[in-house]
């Protein structure tokens, strides 16, 4: 074989390698890699109802219009905090990708999270296997109880929250409409009702359309980024419906560059919740302590500490382009008019 022939053979091989993956081939590759679309229609309703049953609320039916609307009011009501200033929406702002766009969550009396933990997005949180960075909660109802009682977050006791809700006849009436006249309003029921509203915060995207077979849903550049995402091994942790949401070891190959910021070490086994990649273009800064503002830098850091590979600037840019396709359509949320205080409503504590 002369030099000219060999050159054209090599060129042909390179072209074959570059364009070997058709959109149909990529779709199969994605499915084989464990990536799944958001459920929709009846499948989504069944999924939501199953998750609601896991709350063990004790009432039927669940996920009704009345329960969801009540949960929305509670989600937005800052009076669930001792100061009357902090609601669930404060740190999980539905207008800001379901997060707060600051490195460290700030709560009661402007206290920063003692472990410098970043607020994860509430959108699509239904599809996480666990909640909190250390995975200590297994459903959204249990998770909702934590920040309300945390002294550096909403800083309210269960009794205080109950006093506030029971002091407002409108809230009592709405609980009866949602669960029946014989309902016993408890702190757990309040948190579980918030969880049912959160279960509706789903953001389908063009990525989901692609996974369902619409190969035109993603641009050529987005498909290239998706394939690179899989080829690099990113899907080893970012998989399933939520492209995350499970517990995985962190800093597998070498330590995270900012591991000492906040000192968070994960659960007792050093495992950390994998954040969802859905809407990631809107939920900067990144990592559990919010130390990266540019997602390309976060991509390169993950390649180094988790996969032991170097991801180039060009490759990181391609993956970032794919990430843009994960930005989903948000549900329309109308800010609720909340029940008014009465003379029995406890005053705020600053």
Q: Is 266 helix (H, G, I), strand (E, B) or coil?
A: coil
How many whole angstroms separate alpha carbon 204 and alpha carbon 200? Answer: 12
Is 327 in contact with 205 (CB distance < 8 Å)?
yes
Residue 40: how many CB atoms within 10 A of its CB?
A: 13
Cα angle, residue 204 at apex, residues 199 and 205 outer, rounded to 5°: 155
Angle, in degrees to the nearest 10, between helices 187-198 and 140-149: 120
Tell whether 63 is in a known binding site: no
Q: What tokens appear for 51 in the block?
A: 């998750």
Residues in the chain: 350
Structure tokens at 8: 């054209």
Confirm whether residue 9 is marked as ligand binding. no
Measured CA to CA, the distance from residue 71 to residue 139 in angstroms comes to 15
Does the active-site annotation cover 153? yes
The reply to whether 234 sits in an annotated binding site is yes
Stated as kind and residue range, the H or E segment containing 65 is helix 65-76
User: What is the Rg, in whole angstroms, of the alpha carbon atoms belonging to the chain?
Assistant: 23
DSSP helix, strand, coil percent of the chain (3-state; round to 5): 45, 5, 50
The tokens for 103 are 């490195």
Residue 302 labeled ligand binder: yes
CA distance linking residue 207 with residue 296, whole number of Å: 19
Cβ neighbours of 340 (radius 10 Å):
9
Does residue 138 have a known ligand-binding role?
no
The answer to whether the annotation marks 91 as part of a ligand binding site is yes
Catalytic one among 69, 153, 174, 198?
Answer: 153
Residue 288 labelled as part of a binding site: no
**Binding residue numbers for heme c:** 88, 91-92, 234, 237-238, 302
**Binding residue numbers:** 88, 91-92, 234, 237-238, 302
Q: Which residues are catalytic?
A: 153
């Amino acid at each position: 074989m002369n030099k000219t022939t060999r050159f054209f053979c090599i060129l042909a091989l390179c072209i074959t390698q570059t364009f070997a993956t058709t959109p149909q081939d990529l779709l199969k590759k994605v499915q084989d890699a464990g990536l799944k679309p958001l459920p929709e229609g009846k499948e989504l309703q069944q999924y939501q109802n199953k998750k609601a049953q896991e709350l063990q609320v004790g009432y039927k039916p669940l996920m009704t219009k009345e329960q969801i609307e009540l949960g929305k009011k509670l989600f937005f009501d800052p009076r669930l905090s001792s100061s009357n200033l902090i609601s669930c929406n404060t740190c999980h702002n539905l207008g800001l990708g379901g997060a707060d766009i600051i490195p460290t969550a700030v709560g009661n009396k402007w206290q920063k999270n003692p472990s410098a933990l970043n607020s994860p997005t509430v959108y699509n949180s239904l599809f996480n296997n666990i909640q909190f960075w250390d995975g200590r909660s297994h459903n959204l109802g249990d998770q909702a109880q934590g920040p309300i009682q945390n002294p550096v977050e909403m800083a309210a006791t269960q009794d205080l929250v109950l006093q506030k809700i029971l002091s407002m006849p409108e809230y009592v009436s709405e609980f009866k409409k949602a669960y029946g006249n014989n309902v016993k309003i408890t702190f757990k029921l309040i948190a579980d009702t918030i969880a049912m509203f959160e279960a509706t915060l789903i953001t389908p995207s063009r990525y989901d359309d692609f996974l369902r077979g619409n190969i035109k849903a993603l641009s050529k550049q987005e498909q290239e980024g998706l394939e690179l995402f899989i080829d690099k091994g990113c899907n080893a942790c970012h998989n399933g419906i939520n492209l995350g949401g499970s517990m995985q070891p962190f800093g597998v190959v070498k330590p995270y560059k900012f591991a000492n910021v906040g000192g968070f070490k994960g659960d007792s086994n050093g495992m950390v919740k994998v954040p969802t990649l859905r809407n990631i273009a809107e939920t900067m800064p990144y990592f559990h302590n919010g130390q990266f503002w540019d997602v390309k830098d976060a991509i390169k850091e993950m390649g180094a500490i988790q996969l032991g590979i170097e991801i180039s600037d060009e490759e990181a840019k391609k993956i970032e382009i794919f990430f843009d396709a994960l930005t989903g359509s948000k549900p329309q949320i109308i800010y609720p008019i909340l029940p008014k205080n009465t003379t029995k409503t406890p005053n705020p504590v600053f």
